[in-house]
Chain A
Amino acid sequence: MADLMRRSLLAGTAGLALQSLGASEVLAQGTPRRGGTLRISVDQAASVIHPLRTRVNPEHMIAELCYSNLTTLTTGMAPLPDLALSWSANADFTEWTFKLRPGVKFSDGSPCTAKDVAATYVAILDPKTASPARAIVSMIKEPVAVDDETVLFRLNTAYADLPATAAVFGTRIIPAAIATGDLARLSRESVGTGPFKLATYEPDRLIVLERNPHYFIPEQPYLDRVEIRVYPDSSAETSALLSGDNDLMAITAQSEFGRLKNVRGVDALQVPSGQFLNINMGCDAKPFNDLRVRKALSLCVDRDALVGFVALDAGKPGDDVPVNSIYRYFKKEPAKKVDIAQAKKLLAEAGYPDGIDLTLIASDNPGTRTQLAVAVREMAKPAGFRITVQTMPHAAYLDQVWKKGSFYIGFYNTQQTVDGVFSLLYTSNAAWNETRWNNAAFDALVAEARHTSDEAKRTEIYGKAQDMMYAETPSIIPLFFDLLAGKRSYVKGYALHPRGHIYRFEKVWLDDGAPKRG
């Protein structure tokens, strides 16, 4: 009975979200029209198109065009049906059942059933596949194909957020024959249930996709073709949108965003996101094992100024808590203010009355890491922090510093859920436990929320967890970035998603104003 209720509740929210999203967008933008080619520009090469191995946004984009997940996310970050129509869990959230759409076919015409879903998840969980999604879905113990349209996931631990997690990149469903056979094949071609399929692929220049005639929503996609063009130079990419060479710019650099505003026929898109830069401090060794040192540094950081310096005003200040208003269960804390005198005092109490020498490491990708490091260096100077900024190539940073160093700049994208952020970065057993904060009370709160279904109770638990991070500052999170993009006004049905790499191009269409291209 409880199971049934939960199921209707979850399916209900999904349905509601679908309705609200669909209705508002369609009403605002008229009736979708069939046909045309959409030219999208991206800011880096898509060198990996294997759907289980994509790492960066342009790669996620191509994988989303060619494949489907079990679910996707609304712009409000709630799960929405994709391949799965509905889902339900047992009472303690250790088993989840997904019901698939009937009659779905892969782009090669073969049927897509629960067997393919189970085989895909087995491949993702295999360390040999080296899928980035493995850590994110590691709570799955065993995927089982119950019948053609039903998949059962047995979990290692209680987990209430599986439907949202199933929308993550790297969990695109592929044919079982490929998942258990020649997995490398998908590095060169696409066989998926997505709205498009790969036509030509030149990683550093141009990727062309065409309609998948077998797509499971008959009237979609509206577009005939999608061209993805790679622009390593953000300024050139912006010029190409302004001149009408391209129709949509997936990501706009902050320094270029001003050029899109107040231009006829161009829409500048901006949406707050959970993407943040942080200053990680190793809480397991001197000097950062002392809360007073971490607080002192935190008190030096002028967060409003950093939004200007680092995000060029396209962002929001953060208060050392890794979630913000775009997440469900976010709790607004009072804004942290600069107090140099107090910082000096704390530093002296911690045993550094003459100041402290530190080396802050920043990788060169993205460039905002260095901007933050250089700015914080100056801000912390008056309190007695003598910081040397050391930059290094991203590869060397990942190899030598990341997760190992005790003072460096991190950069993270929006996650699916609050739990996704906490258990990726801040719990003791987090996959990327960089700060080694290792706080048992915090761990307990995160674990408790995983099997709590009551919304009010969950809000309360996550609120407490956020209070702890606000007070103890395992890492300084001074700002969140807004995502920025641009499109020509004749591109309809596109919404910039706070998650960053959810695009939903099957809903996009071109109105009469679009140029006719051969």
Chain B
Amino acid sequence: MTLAWLLRRFFTVLYTLLVVSVLVFGLTQILPADAAVTLLGENATPAALAAVRERLGLGDPAWLQYWHWLSALLQGDFGTSMRTSQPVGPAMFTALGRSLLLGGASLVVMLVIAVPLGMWAALRRGKAADLMSSLVSYLGVSFPEFVTATLLLIVVADYFQLLPATGYVPPGEDLADSIRHLILPVVTVSLIMVAHVSRMVRSETIDVLNSDYIRAARLKGLPPRTVLLRHVLRNALLPTVTIVALDVGYLLGGIIVVEEIFAIPGIGRALIVAITSRDLPSIQAGAVIMAATYAVANTLADIAYVLIDRRIRYD
């Protein structure tokens, strides 16, 4: 991992964000009905529309709007929401914080379940446990988040009334309550990823178990537990890192629906609200922040990959 490599990664991330912002800006320009229409609703007289469009800067040509947006962004200013007249940056980053809480918790829960599940299935290949785990993973990948979420709501929150149905409580306000509110969303988000990742771990583990050096280690008479933890786990985890990084993109998409259903005021919900109200600065900021999150996660995964890889080589 050289400085040149890091620089290259950095420019790739920048290029990604540039492409995303041009793409999203271009698409939002052709959205039917603008923010002035959605803001005024039924009171949109021509005079009022003109006044609001002027106030929002919607009269400028598209490239000029993009230039204003980009140059303000370079100074750290995401602009002002057309819907609420509040600054977009702070609102979006507050929302991102909540989404990261949800996403991070889901990621941790997923790893804690998926890795042991996958390895266990690989060790018991072809037995009942393996079949069970593959059944679970098939069910997991086949339920879209909005279905899982709704079914969980009916059973857990409504019928048994074990957990609050929806809503968000900041951890700083009441930690226990905050966790209770997060359980169902986290389960929903992590379910598909558990299914996906545990299958990957299973097949990687099988590969490693069949490899020559594991056979050699076994023949040397090393205790099975040592073999499993020292060699199999580490080697099987390596490709998993890449998969998880790619899944972050999926996670971010899943969060959009889950936040909508569980009424979590995160960046996904903010984006849906922004799209329906044609709030261009918020759509732009939300999309770029999401893409940046994804790009950074991928870069971190690459770095982790290189680090783990080196450890293995020199072990």
Q: Interface residues, chain A, CB within 8 Å of chain B?
A: 45, 47-48, 50, 55, 127-132, 134-135, 184, 187-188, 202-205, 231-233, 235-236, 239-240, 243, 393-396, 398-400, 402, 432
Contact = CB atoms under 8 A, between A and B. Distances in A.
Given A236-B263, A394-B276, A396-B32, 4 more contacts: A203-B84, A233-B263, A395-B32, A398-B37
B181 to A, nearest CB: 10
A128 B166 contact: no
Contacts of A235: 153, 158, 165-166
Contact of A127 (B45, B276, B277): B45
B13 interface: no
B41 A130 contact: no
A395 B270 contact: no
A199 to B, nearest CB: 16
Interface of B: 32-33, 37-45, 47-49, 51-52, 83-86, 153, 157-158, 164-168, 260-263, 265, 269-270, 273, 276-278
Contacts of B43: 55, 130-132, 134-135
B42 A231 contact: no
A45 B277 CA distance: 12
Contact of A47 (B45, B83, B165, B166): B83
A184 B52 contact: no
A398 B49 CA distance: 12
Contact of A396 (B33, B261, B262, B265): B33
Given A188-B86, A239-B164, A395 B37 contact: yes
Main secondary structure of the interface of B (DSSP, over half): helix
A130 B265 contact: no
A130 B48 contact: yes
Given A132-B43, A232-B263, A393-B276, A203 B86 contact: yes
Main secondary structure of the interface of A (DSSP, over half): loop
A90 B83 CA distance: 43
Nearest to B38: A395
Contacts of A55: 40-41, 43
A51 to B, nearest CB: 13
Given A205-B265, A395-B276, A130 B165 contact: no
Contacts of A400: 32-33
Contacts of B44: 398
A196 B48 CA distance: 30
A424 to B, nearest CB: 10
Contact of B85 (A187, A395, A432): A187
A432 B32 CA distance: 22
Contacts of B48: 127, 130, 134
Given A203-B86, A231-B167, A236-B166, A432 B42 contact: yes
Given A55-B41, A233-B261, A243-B164, A398 B51 contact: no
A43 to B, nearest CB: 11
Contacts of B168: 205
Nearest to A186: B85
A53 B92 CA distance: 24
A239 B273 CA distance: 23
Contacts of A239: 157, 164-166
B278 to A, nearest CB: 6
Contacts of A47: 83-84, 277
Contacts of A127: 45, 47-48, 51
